[in-house]
Structure 1
Amino acid sequence: MSNTLKDLTAGTAGGIAQVLVGQPFDICKVRMQTSPPGTYSGLMHCAGDILKNEGPLAFYKGTLSPLLGIGACVSIQFGVLEWFKRYFAARNPNPSVNALGSGQLAFAGAAAGLANSVVSGPVEHIRIRLQTQSDKARLYSGPGDALRKIMRAHGVAGVYKGQVPTLWREGVAYAIYFVTYEKLMQREMRVHAMRREDVSPAKAVLFGAAAGYALWAVIYPIDVVKSRIQTDGFDAASGRKYSSTLDCLRKVWAAEGVKGFTRGLGPTLIRSPFANGATFLGFELASRALYGSR
């Protein structure tokens, strides 16, 4: 099996772990981001409302789309990241992927995020449509139905609604994400004079959690804008509020100020260490099984 195929397989394992752990928190985040101000007083209010009105399975609404899509997204992320790590390592005086500089890792991470956005944009759009629809007024019966109806009515542009903020988010986010994780791994190996595969799984979870917090600390406002646009109407006839990313940014600021860009942050911060720790744990364990000692 080629290195790239191994990286893609390990990334898929990380993506599946991320979805299974993070999905209940994510639906609360999206509901809080996109509902009218004052709908929920906090995470527990939102979660309690979903549980009371829609039942426990509602926390996994739209899961099939991210389970397949996010698995593919994380697979792409790690596939591109590891390819660039090997590319830079081969051209460094010290030819080791464990000695790459922050700039090289940031470039690799940004490239991974941008490559991933081709899949993550429509996957998240469909997931958010499913997460925010009411059981009493269901427009879509599932991800396949949503994809067909959006494509039929609005074409490819409709499926990729919100792609501009998605590109901004993914490029910046994954540069920060992977620099943080890789630098923590490098420090652990240097301080304890060990190989990467000897770093404990618990440390992979801890470093993944730190990487997740670093990511959200920087890009949460653009994630709010992305969610707002992806739940907005497709055109004037369907009640579109925002004409562009910048228009959404201006209107949220004018109507709600800073608070408009932090709604849903609570469940995101609670979800982050679990979901991102699971992602890196899944990737590291799968990589060790596929590569053995390196």
Structure 2
Amino acid sequence: MSKSSTAKDLTAGTAGGILQVLVGQPFDIVKVRMQTAPAGTYTGMLQCAGGILKNEGPLAFYKGTLTPLLGVGACVSIQFGALEYMKRVFTTQNLKARKGGLDGKTLDPFQLLVAGASAGIANSVVSGPVEHIRIRLQTQSAKNPLYNGPFDAMKKIWAEKGLSGLYKGQVATLWREGPGYASYFLAYELLMQREMAAKGIRREQIAASHTILYGAIAGYALWFTIYPADVIKSRMQTDGFTPATGQKYSSTLDCVRKVIANEGIAGFRRGLVPTLIRSPFANGATFVGFEMAMRALNG
């Protein structure tokens, strides 16, 4: 497995991640505000978005964007790097077992699930602190901000709680990333494999429009799998670090129990509408960015 292949995977993943942020960030800030505000704050997505526009201006929809541009680019790069590495591992195994087609690249659902889960777990090492910083910036007061940008946030959180502070909410992040990306990449790769087999074509011959469509479907597979875990992650990552600073939850399970007790199952659906609207655009952009970059890198 060559270093050049890994470098291409990481570069193409970065391209996909940057497109994901630029397309999806405005929807993401609405989602996070709805997930983390006290119950009853917003009647729906439009009221939340309208309030942000009225009170903070249009640029508020890109609050905290520097962190995801750098961080999500790295996260998606890691996702695709880990995914493609595992796909090559399984391809080698398939060739030895004489399955997976002539080139061994047609992976079975179990192999795709393992590859996707591996991508998610590898990604969580970076996505945990990146999303923590982003969410802190997205939810802080516009009039009296606690943090003057992502680097100031990292500095202050590190000073207060050290490494554990940056990784606040990491248990919920792992709940989200492992199962979520297993579903995400399983859906996408099965659709890609299906078209290649049906038409007898190579991966690079699949139309960009189909790549966008398959990415959109994969995005829905992701969110329908992990949305409750995402709500818990957002709650944990906006919670205070100590009781003196407004800490509400003593642990991830305590957060789950309190959401159920105070809001019922509906609490796990808050912010779902903007997420579902954002998903096809952001994930379609991610996959088409990755696939087009890979084609360019491969000449």
TM-score of the aligned structures, taking structure 1 as reference length: 0.98
Over residues 196-246 of structure 1, what are the superposed CA-to-partner deviations in whole Å (9 max), with x where a residue is unaligned?
000000000000000000111110001000000000000111111101111
Q: RMSD across aligned C-alpha pairs, in angstroms?
A: 0.9
The gaps in structure 2 that reach 5 residues or longer are: none
Alignment equivalent of 2:161, drawn from 154, 157, 166: 154
SS at match of 1:137: coil
Aligned twin of 1:14: 16
1:9-64 Cα offsets, whole Å, 9 max, x none, are 00000000000000000000000000011111111111100000000000000000
- Of the three residues 261, 264, 284, the one matched with 1:254 is 261
Q: Match for residue 41 of structure 1?
A: 43
Q: Which amino acid aligns with 1:81?
A: L
The 5 A counterparts of 1:101-250 are: 101-250=108-257
- AA at the equivalent of 2:212: V
Residues 178 and 96 of structure 1, relative CA distance in 2, 3 Å threshold:
farther
Indicate if the aligned counterparts of 1:74 and 1:116 stay in contact, CA closer than 8 A. Answer: yes
Identity %: 69
Name segments (4+ residues, structure 1) moved above 3 Å. 94-98
Contact 1:181-1:208 within 8 A present in 2 as well = yes
Q: Which amino acid aligns with 1:213?
A: Y
- AA aligned to 1:207 is Y
2:86 is equivalent to residue 79 of structure 1: no
Which ranges in structure 1 are unaligned for 5 or more consecutive residues? none
**CA 1:236 to 1:96, structure 2 compared with 1: closer, same or farther past 3 Å?**
farther
SS in 2 for 1:161: coil
Distance 2:164 2:18 in 1: 27
Name the amino acid aligned to 1:6.
Answer: K
CA distance in 1, matches of 2:207, 2:141: 44
Judging changes above 3 Å, is the alpha-carbon distance between structure 1 residues 97 and 109 closer, same or farther for their aligned structure 2 residues?
A: farther
